[in-house]
Structure formats: structure tokens, C-alpha cells
Amino acid sequence: MVFDLEMIKKVYAKFPEAIEAARKVVGKPLTLSEKILYAHLWEGNAVNVYERGKSYVDFAPDRVAMQDATAQMALLQFMQAGKKKVAVPSTVHADHLIQAKLGASKDLQESLNQNNEVFNFLSSISNKYGIGFWKPGAGIIHQVVLENYAFPGGMMIGTDSHTVNAGGLGMVAIGVGGADAVDVMAGMAWELKFPKLIGVKLTGHLSGWTSAKDVILKVADILTVKGGTGAIVEYFGDGAISLSCTGKGTICNMGAEIGATTSTFGYDNSMRRYLAATGRQEVVDAADKIAEHLTGDAEVYAHPEKYFDQVIEINLSDLEPHINGPFTPDRGTPISKMKAEALANEWPMKVEWGLIGSCTNSSYEDMSRAASIVEQAVEQGILPKAEFGINPGSEQVRYTIERDGIIATFEKMGTKIFTNACGPCIGQWDRAGAEKQEKNTIVHSFNRNFSKRADGNPNTHAFVTSPEMVAALAIAGDLGFNPLTDTLTNAKGEQFKFSAPKGDELPTKGFDVEDPGYQAPVEDGSGVVIAVAPDSSRLQLLENFPIWDGKNILGAKLLIKAKGKCTTDHISMAGPWLRYRGHLDNISNNMLIGAENAFNGKANAVVNQLTGETGEVPAVQRAYKAAGVPSIVVGDHNYGEGSSREHAAMEPRHLGVRAVIVKSFARIHETNLKKQGMLGLTFAVEEDYDKIRENDTFNFIDLEDFTPGKPLTLEIVHADGTKENISLNHTYNQSQIEWFKAGSALNLIKLMEN
């Protein structure tokens, strides 16, 4: 048993009293989200009516999960916090560093050869501090968490934006940067702005080709990549109850794509079935005792408009399968309109690859539904027009689908079975020919499809859809193919129409696995030595960021004014750069290389104001740093959307950027900037973005008086000598201003320790 039953029981013991106290104070029926939040208030915090979207509140999460690419930085920081052991159950998962190329066994071996140093570091540091370690090949963090650790009513944080996946088991699970994880592992409170609440009422039933994925593809289309910012999305209604638990996970998973803090579902029979099937009947027994507290009050679901800030209703019976993309996950097209839409936009019609997997869609149900489509094609002697690749979500899923013949079905189509890991979803894909940068189309069951993400090619048009739809489109090899109405020609030359996919929610013979790939930590880790070679290119011990000198920042230069979408993939690219996630100086060489410069429309080409010459962004910034010249970064809307990677905040901090000024931020990135001692500010008047010229100089003239709730003034000195002042908003509260003053939140922890 890897899950912590005692901890879960302790959490449940707090629920009745905490909820009664919240009911008294709030004076209204409660949503599920509120119940979980109130049951996890940091000890000694008074129960208040918090202002949604405004009040900062301290919470006590039950668990922490980290994946290899972010755990390195999180644990390098934790090492500095001076603790012997983590204060709450925590796990590390080796999943992001494994490249997909030839197939699971060869790829895994190659990854062990390549990343040995990092995996050894993660395994020994986990051992030292009492953290469970899931070895390379064990599976994708969020699938492993759902299978082993998530529990209804729990609260967890994880250093990955798709931590929200655990909402499928009724948790409030939130993606954070490593510095936030350090707080919780060090036994401190974790702070979050009390979220707004969006209710999604699901009615009707899924049928035919429509799947859980289509629910979130539709929600993303409605709310857009910004629409969930600062909110918990709570799903309810008969339609919600009718979904499988892993289907609920898929929906919650992609809540990250609309910027939602997290998403969740009330405890129901699908969760009971899933918990029992994954060996956790004890959790069902414990949850059943407080079941009424693990879902929203009946009155809330009867009159949602009175209790949620926004309500959306979707009838599952009317929902059409969707395909979202290219380049952004919120551009939704129902399958019946896809052909016309693709032709009108000149998207390449030929589908080159179909990829099934990622933390979003790699459950047993997903694999079995997709296999049912493949099976039909095999029977008809239809060969797939596109190539096919699969990443199972966990070793447990892989072992079970192998036992049940699902892998064999895929193999009949020549499908490549990649490692149980992220693979192509995070650019860990050695795709033959990608370097030619040809315009092409791929379809996948992942969650993100930002430019260059899967294969590094900016001309790859990636579309997100359900696993069964990926299977159909890859077999047809045609983006305009609608399996609900269109036919293919079979081996006998006849027209053949697919019947709707069928699958099993859970394996009828139960899950099975030989070696799940888990390493439990030793009881006393004090003797474990963590070695970081001083000349390593992969790992580097951290140095403190400098404390603020208390003075206004004067004479700053513009490093880059980024235009349009600037996700964390643009700020700190993944793919080949993942190898430097434990080495701050080396990874800083990718800083903002994907962002579009507003003045020349190019990526990675900015003017060095000291020489007048154009150079690459990291090099120009290193020149400013060497000259002791401060700099700023300017950006557009939803800056830092996407990943939780704090490298996107640490790199500018390390290279001497002082402030990031944008029209709006994505939540995790804004917090990451604050934690690392940066100024993350927004234009009070959005159009002031247009006032920023390429060769301006900037003075922060009232930073010495940095106070919560009071905007800062930026004096812009244009090259012609004219000056103008603009107002910059910020959301720093007093303790966050202390992080800025100390140079970083971690510096402050260390100051408190001494």
C-alpha cells in the first residue's frame, strides 16, 4: 500500500467540524469547492467569508507531487530550507525526461543512459528527505497520482500545471511552482487567492463517439485560455455522475488549458468503483462515512446561479465530438464542421501522425475505446494512412492492456508503443524529418498544442481530440474525415463505416502489474549523501538571489517587448532544454527565445541598447548583466500561460531582469515571479503597452514605497528625451513584498531559520 490511509482518515476527521464552522460563517449552502477549501484552512486561521478572487488565504495541503523536470529545481531549493524530512507525504515521478523514438524498451534504456545523473540525484534526494520516488517508466505523474494517491475531499499541490487531473477523484489539486512546494514540504502554510467558482452543470448522457474529452474541449472553446483564471470549476448534475472517474480526470486535467486554478467533481459511484479497482477499498469505506461532505449541497446544485460566479450548462446528449487547434487548445471545431474549417484556413488535410497518451488521456478506458476502432480497421483489412504512437499512462495501465490484448491490437496496425511517460507531449519526440520544418498536421489526445511543442517544428499543426477520434483520423489519414458519417474503402474495395467506439471503464479482470516502479524512502535518511558534481552540466547547486537594496530601480533597459501569445514554452522552452532543468545557468540560455519581438516580428532577435546591435535574447541580457544595467520585459495578455515551470521566472531573475510588465498574467507564473523576488506588474491602462518603444529607458520612481494595493509609477524616458509616467498595478500583499525585499521567498525562509 503506497497511499497513506492514516493521513486520509485524519483529514476526514476534520471535515464535519470544519464544514459546520464554515456554514455558520458563510450563512449559505456550500459548494464542494468551498467545503474542501474550508476543511484545509491553515491551523489557527479564523474562518471568514473570503472575497473570491481577492483575499489571500493560508491553506494546509495534504500532499505534494513533483515530476522530474520541475522536481530538480524544487528539491534544490528544498535542500536550502534546512529541514530533515518533508512535512507532508510527497512523491517524485520520473516521466518528462524520456524521449520517444524507437519504442519503449530501447527508449527507456537510452534515457537511463542520458539522464542517469539526474535520476540518481532525484532518487537519492527523495530517499534522504522521506519522499517516494517513482522510477523512469513507472508512468506519468498525474496518472500515477490518480491510481495511487488522490482521494475525494483531499487537497494537494504539485509542481506541474496538470496536477489538477486529480480533481477526477474529487480533490482540490493545484499546480504550483517549486518554491510553493518547498513551503508545504517545509511544514509552512501555502497561500492562495480564494478562488472564484464556476459551476458546470452537465445533463444528459455521453453516447456514440462523444467522450469526456469533448466536454472539456467544449468548455475550453466557451471559456478560452483565460476564462478560468483564478477560478475553481466545479462539475455537477446527472451528466457528471454518469461519467467514469478517469473521464472526470480528463476533464479536470485540461482545466489547466483554460487557466483554471483547478476543477473538481463530487464524490460518487464512479469514484467508488475506481478506488476499489485500484486497491483502495479502505478509502471508499472512510469516504462513505462523510460522503455528504464530499459533494456540494443539494440546494447549490438545484440553484447554481445563486452560489457560483458563473454557470455553464452542457447537455452531454447533444454534444458533438470536437477537435481543437491548431496552435491553441481553445479553438474548438465540432467534427461535422472540421472539413470546411480546415479547407477555409488552409490547414494541411493529410494527417501524418496520430498520438495517443499524455496525462490527459491514457487510462484503461481511453486505450480500450481507441483499440475498438483499430480492431474494426484491422478486421476490414484497412491500413492506417498515418503513423501511430502510444504512450500508456502508467505501468499498471500498460501491463493490464498488454494482458488484455489491447497492445496486440494496436501492434497489428504497426503502432509504436512508447514508454509510460510524457514523450511527444512535451517535445520528447525524435520525430524523423521534423528539422525540415514542413507544414504538416498531427492529431493527438494530449492537452496542449502550442507551436513547436511536440516536435520543435513551428509548421506542425497539432490538433487535440479524444483517443478514439485520434484513432479514426490517423487511420483515415485525413483531417476532414468524419467517422460519424463518412466511409473508408476496405480491403475488398467496399465502403466501410466505423461503428461507434466501445470500451471498458475499468478492466473486467481487474488491474494487474508486476513491478509498478516505486521506491519507498528509507526511514532515516540522515546518512544519505547527495552528490552534485561541481562541473556537472545538468545540475547546479543554487546560490541566493541578491536582496533588494531598498532603492528605486533606475536606468533600466527594455530587453524585449513580447507580442501576442507568450506561454511558458516561449519563455523557457521544453523539448531538448529539459536536460538543463537542474542547472539554472545553463537553462538560462533559452530565456525568451521563443517570444515574438513586437518591433521586428522575430523570435530571439532583440536590440542591445548598449551597442545598438541585434543579438539573441539571452546573450543581450547577459551583456546587460555584465554591464550592471537593469532591464525589464514587457508582455501581452495571459503572459506565462501553460506550464508551472518556475524556470520561466528564475531565468530572468538569474540573468538580472528586474521586472516583467504585462497586460495580464497566468496565475502560476505570476506567483512564480513573486516567489523568486521579481516584480510582476500589469499596465493599469492596457493601451500603455503601446507607449513602450524599443530604445526607452525606465525608472521605477516610487518603488521605495512599495505597498499593498498601491500602484507603482514607471517613468518612461524615450530616446528623444521626452518623458511620460504610467501607472502599474500589482497584487503583492505584505508578505509577498517581504519576499521581494529579501530577494526571494526562499531567502526569507532561510532568514527565519537562522
- For ligand MIC, give the closer residue by CB, 449 or 604: 449
Told to judge if 643 belongs to the known catalytic residues of this protein, a careful annotator would answer yes
- For ligand MIC, give the closer residue by CB, 678 or 692: 678
Distance CA 472, CA 486 (A): 11
Number of residues that bind ligand MIC (CB under 6 A): 14
Distance CA 309, CA 174 (A): 20
From 189, 223, 231, 425, residue interacting with ligand SF4 (rule: CB under 6 A): 425
Told to judge if 96 belongs to the known catalytic residues of this protein, a careful annotator would answer yes
Determine the number of helices (DSSP H) and then strands (DSSP E) in the chain. 24, 30
Query: Considering only 102-110, 455-463, 475-483, 636-644, which stretch makes contact with ligand MIC by CB under 6 A?
Result: 636-644
Q: Name the minimum Å distance from CB 669 to ligand SF4.
A: 15
Identify the CA nearest to 713 among candidates 744, 688, 738: 688
Q: Name the minimum Å distance from CB 594 to ligand SF4.
A: 16
Are the CB atoms for 330 and 223 separated by under 8 Å? yes
What is the DSSP track for 11-22? HHHHHHHHHHHH
Distance CA 499, CA 372 (A): 9
Alpha-helix residue ranges (DSSP H) falling in 27-67: 32-39
Q: Which helix (H) or strand (E) holds 72?
A: helix 68-80
DSSP 464: E
Distance CA 409, CA 603 (A): 43
Q: What are phi and psi of 708, to 5 degrees?
A: -55, 140
Query: Omega before 326 cis (within 30°)?
Result: yes
What does the block give as the cell for 115? 539522464
Query: Considering only 418-426, 650-658, 681-689, 704-712, which stretch makes contact with ligand SF4 by CB under 6 A?
Result: 418-426
Identify the CA nearest to 232 among candidates 289, 286, 127, 155: 155
Q: Name the minimum Å distance from CB 98 to ligand MIC.
A: 13
CA dist list (Å): 320 to 476, 562, 628: 19, 37, 57
Report if residue 246 touches ligand SF4, rule: CB under 6 A. Answer: no
End-to-end CA distance of the chain: 38
Q: Which of residues 124-163 bind ligand SF4 (CB under 6 A)?
A: 140-141, 160, 162
Told to judge if 126 belongs to the known catalytic residues of this protein, a careful annotator would answer no
Q: What are phi and psi of 286, to 5 degrees?
A: -70, -45
Report if residue 358 touches ligand SF4, rule: CB under 6 A. Answer: yes
* Per-residue exposure over 605-617, b if at least 16 CB sit within 10 Å of its own CB, e if not: bbbbbeeeeebbb
Please identify which of the residues 62, 68, 95, 297 carries the catalytic annotation.
95
Q: Name the minimum Å distance from CB 177 to ligand MIC.
A: 9
Write the CB contacts of 141 (distance below 8 Å, at least 6 apart in sequence).
Answer: 65, 66, 67, 93, 95, 134, 158, 160, 162, 163, 359
Question: How many C-beta atoms surround the C-beta of residue 232 within 10 A?
Answer: 29
- For ligand MIC, give the closer residue by CB, 362 or 409: 362
Distance CA 508, CA 404 (A): 9
Please, which residues bridge with residue 683 across strands? 728
From 111, 143, 148, 161, residue interacting with ligand MIC (rule: CB under 6 A): 161
Q: Which of residues 91-110 bind ligand SF4 (CB under 6 A)?
A: 96
Are the CB atoms for 148 and 8 separated by under 8 Å? no
- For ligand SF4, give the closer residue by CB, 175 or 239: 175
- Using DSSP's 3-state secondary structure scheme, residue 557 falls into strand
On the CB side of 378, CA atoms within 13 Å amount to 16
Q: Which of residues 430-469 bind ligand SF4 (CB under 6 A)?
A: 446-447
**Burial of residue 473, with CB atoms counted within 10 A of its CB: 0-12 exposed, 13-18 middle, 19 or more buried:** buried
Is the sign of the CA dihedral 337, 339, 345, 349 positive or negative? positive
Told to judge if 93 belongs to the known catalytic residues of this protein, a careful annotator would answer no
- For ligand SF4, give the closer residue by CB, 159 or 441: 159
Q: Name the minimum Å distance from CB 697 to ligand MIC.
A: 34
Residue written as grid cell 522510477: 135
Say which entry of ligand SF4, ligand MIC, none residue 503 contacts (CB below 5 to 8 A, set by partner kind): none
- Using DSSP's 3-state secondary structure scheme, residue 169 falls into helix
Say which entry of ligand MIC, ligand SF4, none residue 358 contacts (CB below 5 to 8 A, set by partner kind): ligand SF4
- For ligand SF4, give the closer residue by CB, 376 or 445: 445
Query: Considering only 82-90, 331-339, 641-649, 682-690, which stretch makes contact with ligand MIC by CB under 6 A?
Result: 641-649
Q: Name the minimum Å distance from CB 216 to ligand SF4.
A: 13
Report if residue 642 touches ligand MIC, rule: CB under 6 A. Answer: yes
Report residue 317 CA to chain centroid gap. Answer: 29
Q: Which of residues 707-746 bind ligand MIC (CB under 6 A)?
A: none
Please, which residues bridge with residue 110 across strands? none
Told to judge if 512 belongs to the known catalytic residues of this protein, a careful annotator would answer no
Say which entry of ligand MIC, ligand SF4, none residue 140 contacts (CB below 5 to 8 A, set by partner kind): ligand SF4
From 426, 472, 475, 578, residue interacting with ligand SF4 (rule: CB under 6 A): 426
Told to judge if 705 belongs to the known catalytic residues of this protein, a careful annotator would answer no
Identify the CA nearest to 363 among candidates 420, 322, 424: 420
Please identify which of the residues 96, 142, 162, 730 carries the catalytic annotation.
96
- Using DSSP's 3-state secondary structure scheme, residue 473 falls into helix
Report if residue 574 touches ligand MIC, rule: CB under 6 A. Answer: yes
Say which entry of ligand MIC, ligand SF4, none residue 70 contacts (CB below 5 to 8 A, set by partner kind): ligand MIC
Site pattern 308..347 for ligand MIC (x: CB under 6 A): ----------------------------------------
Q: Name the minimum Å distance from CB 178 to ligand MIC.
A: 10
Q: Name the minimum Å distance from CB 422 to ligand SF4.
A: 3
Q: Name the minimum Å distance from CB 70 to ligand SF4.
A: 10
Say which entry of ligand MIC, ligand SF4, none residue 449 contacts (CB below 5 to 8 A, set by partner kind): none
Q: Are strands 387-390 and 416-417 parallel, antiparallel or unpaired?
A: parallel
Q: Name the minimum Å distance from CB 571 to ligand MIC.
A: 10
Say which entry of ligand SF4, ligand MIC, none residue 645 contacts (CB below 5 to 8 A, set by partner kind): ligand MIC
Q: Name the minimum Å distance from CB 425 to ligand SF4.
A: 3
Say which entry of ligand SF4, ligand MIC, none residue 63 contacts (CB below 5 to 8 A, set by partner kind): none
From 63, 101, 128, 162, residue interacting with ligand MIC (rule: CB under 6 A): 162
- For ligand SF4, give the closer residue by CB, 70 or 736: 70
Question: Catalytic positions, please?
Answer: 95-96, 160, 448, 643, 645
**Chain contacts with ligand MIC (rule: CB under 6 A):** 69-70, 96, 160-162, 175, 426, 448, 574, 642-645
Site residues, ligand SF4 (CB under 6 A)? 96, 140-141, 160, 162, 358-359, 422, 425-426, 446-447
